Amino acid sequence: MAAIEETVHEPVAAKNEFAVENPATGEVIAHCPDLGAEAIAAMAKRGREVQPAWEALGFEGRARILKRMQKWVIDHQEEIIAVIRSETGKTYEDALIAEISYGAAAFGFWATNAEKYLADEKVKSSAILVKGKKLLLRYRPLGLVGVIGPWNYPLTNSFGDCVPALAAGNAVILKPSEITPLTSLKLAEGLKECGIPDGVFQVATGLGATGAALVDQVDMIMFTGSTATGKKVMAKAAETLTPVSLELGGKDPMIVLADADVERAANTALYYGMLNGGQTCISVERVYVEEPVYDAFVAKVTEKARALRQGTGAAGSVDVGSMTFPPQVDIVERHVEDAKAKGATVLVGGSRGKKSDPTHPGYWYEPTILVDVDHTMSAMTEETFGPTLPIMKVRDEEEAIRLANDSPYGLGASVFGKDTKHAEAVARRVEAGAVCVNDALVNYSALELPMGGAKASGLGSRHGAGGIRKYCQQQAILVTRFATKKDPHMYPYSAKMTARLGKFFSFLYGRGNRD
Ligand code: NAD
């Protein structure tokens, strides 16, 4: 198993501010403040001041604002897409499908479902001492939640976590990635227009140190990013015993069984390998294909990959965009060069630069298909996070499962086979937080279905009941009603009564132990 790369990159910043680039052109498009610990402490104070009123607004009051925001996202989608594209270099479709549609759905989903997931739960107990009493489990908001986001999906990742935290009644401070802060600032404008009270949602722009300062100030930290930074966040949070939820990196395998629909498997591998330029935490990062269908699968993927259009064009004109984070191009290049040096064959692409326009400015890597790969190569063991698809031939499904699990990561996975019962049995043996059969990634759009990483891919999950309860303190309530005239809690017990109680308990609980 390969060790996880510990490199964390940060751009060089001017004093107290940092530049934001359009990665498709390399041009600087904005500067944002690099907020320090003092500013974060002031924001935290503000958030704490306004949170009780936000909580008191109740589910309905909060839902009204979040639903207005759902409409706002749809009404302003072209503007938002333009901002997202300007700081990420992704295609129009990548911004529309994986950001706008998810973001709008999330505002509506949590507005509608928060109350259901957080309603008081009646608890029944067999304990004799609580007979006749009311026992409840309730979920109260933690207070101030800090969300730290990555650069690959500035809307989906960051707001996918902020919205349930807000719906639960928390104030939220979002620290977006310094590579893509503009989308968060745009959405903050929207929330303000939709009537969110001042200070309930705040955006703290800054570098890594700003994120570290946020960890010190909040009641819970929701972190999405690399495994290396996730470990630092968890260590920092341990100093103040602040709860954390971590959504980290992955190296998602796809297994193509001998009875797979090869056309469907090839389409899915390519689409979800190249989606967002391969910069998706649950991208298809490596493929294992059983021998009988290997040649057919490789031929189809190669043909389709050659036809991919790469660029910055209007809707419908390009398939793959630029890389978002400049140092990521170096990582992709290192993985491809390492694979080539160890015997891999490049069937498509294989170079940095934009396909069919290698001198184009900005940060680009060609859509790339690799074969003759194995687990001595970093392309098969480390997160590449780029438009590469390495394909490996395997003898049988046992070898495929063994290799799929030969990874420190365990985020997502997929299995292809027409015998779906059998494919599901294979899926259940893959060590991953989510596995799709005859599909990939779409599970992420089902907000009812929990999504979280196994192994070094994370801690906790988003979506479903757990995706909002993590922003709450679980509180047990016991209420003694005055239904009986005599209060049984009289002190002190007499020796006679204690002896009687002892006999009663041994009779009651001893029964269960008889043969
Ligand atoms: P990163 O870890 O470099 O940065 C993430 C965020 O952490 C940024 O906002 C950064 O400023 C901040 N940060 C850096 N140092 C910090 C510190 N010491 N304390 C607190 N915050 C700090 O990650 P990235 O490069 O922005 O994102 C790419 C990674 O994110 C990939 O590994 C990808 O797989 C992962 N990711 C995971 C998911 C998921 O749901 N599991 C989703 C998207 C991305």
Task: Return the minimum-mean-pLDDT range out of 187-191, 316-320, 386-390, 492-496.
Answer: 492-496
State phi, psi for 249 to the nearest 5 degrees: -75, 175
Determine the pLDDT at residue 491: 62
Task: Return the minimum-mean-pLDDT range out of 230-244, 358-372, 473-487.
Answer: 473-487
- Taking the centre of ligand 1 as the mean of its atom positions, its distance from the CA of residue 224, in whole angstroms, is 5
Determine the pLDDT at residue 496: 83
- As a whole number, mean pLDDT of residues 362-377 equals 98
Decide which of 171 and 10 is more confident: 171
> Which two tokens mark 216?
């010190």
Q: How far, in Å, CA of 170 to CA of 212, rounded?
A: 20
- Whether residue 14 is predicted with pLDDT greater than 50 in this model: the reply is no
- As a whole number, mean pLDDT of residues 77-100 equals 98
- Whether residue 184 is predicted with pLDDT greater than 90 in this model: the reply is yes
In this prediction, residue 211 has a pLDDT band, given cuts at 50, 70 and 90, of very high
In ligand 1, the atom with minimum distance to the C-alpha of 215 is 20
- Whether residue 511 is predicted with pLDDT greater than 70 in this model: the reply is no
Evaluate if pTM is beyond 0.85. Answer: yes
Residue of the CA atom closest to atom 11 of ligand 1: 208
The label of the residue with tokens 């004093």 reads 15
Dihedral sign for Cα atoms in the order 351, 355, 359, 360: negative
Identify which of 10, 34, 148 to mutate to test ligand 1's pocket (most ligand atoms within 8 A of the CB).
148
> Which two tokens mark 381?
């063991």
pLDDT digits (tens, 9 = 90+) for 288-341: 999 999 999 999 999 999 999 999 999 999 999 999 999 999 999 999 999 999
In ligand 1, the atom with minimum distance to the C-alpha of 177 is 9
- Taking the centre of ligand 1 as the mean of its atom positions, its distance from the CA of residue 94, in whole angstroms, is 20
Determine the pLDDT at residue 2: 44
CB of 232 closer than 8 Å to CB of 211: no
> Catalytic pick from 281, 397, 436, 472?
281
> Catalytic pick from 21, 55, 247, 383?
247
Q: What percent of the chain has pLDDT over 90?
A: 88
Total H helices, total E strands in the chain: 17, 20
Residue of the CA atom closest to atom 37 of ligand 1: 248
Determine the pLDDT at residue 512: 58
Mean pLDDT of the chain: 94
Determine the pLDDT at residue 503: 87
CB of 453 closer than 8 Å to CB of 282: no
Sequence-separated (6 or more) residues with CB below 8 Å from residue 48: 143, 144, 171
In this prediction, residue 485 has a pLDDT band, given cuts at 50, 70 and 90, of low
Determine the pLDDT at residue 507: 83
Question: Which residue ranges form the domains of the chain, and what is each CATH number?
Answer: 38-248+464-473 (3.40.605.10), 253-446 (3.40.309.10), 480-510 (no CATH)
In ligand 1, the atom with minimum distance to the C-alpha of 458 is 41
pLDDT digits (tens, 9 = 90+) for 22-64: 999 999 999 999 999 999 999 999 999 999 999 999 999 999 9
Residue of the CA atom closest to atom 35 of ligand 1: 225
In this prediction, residue 1 has a pLDDT band, given cuts at 50, 70 and 90, of very low
pLDDT digits (tens, 9 = 90+) for 99-117: 999 999 999 999 999 999 9
State phi, psi for 173 to the nearest 5 degrees: -115, 120
Q: How far, in Å, CA of 194 to CA of 108, rounded?
A: 14
Q: How far, in Å, CA of 45 to CA of 10, rounded?
A: 28
Residue 12 zone, left/alpha/beta (φ > 0; ψ -120 to 50; rest): beta
Instruction: Judge whether 281 counts as a catalytic residue.
Output: yes
Cβ < 6 A, ligand 1 pocket:
8, 148-152, 157, 175, 177-178, 207-208, 211-212, 215, 224-226, 229, 232-233, 247-250, 281, 325, 383, 385, 411, 453, 458
Q: Pick the closest to residue 73 from 98, 111, 99, 92 (CA basis).
A: 99
Instruction: Judge whether 247 counts as a catalytic residue.
Output: yes
Q: How far, in Å, CA of 244 to CA of 257, rounded?
A: 38
- As a whole number, mean pLDDT of residues 428-455 equals 98
Sequence-separated (6 or more) residues with CB below 8 Å from residue 108: 66, 67, 70
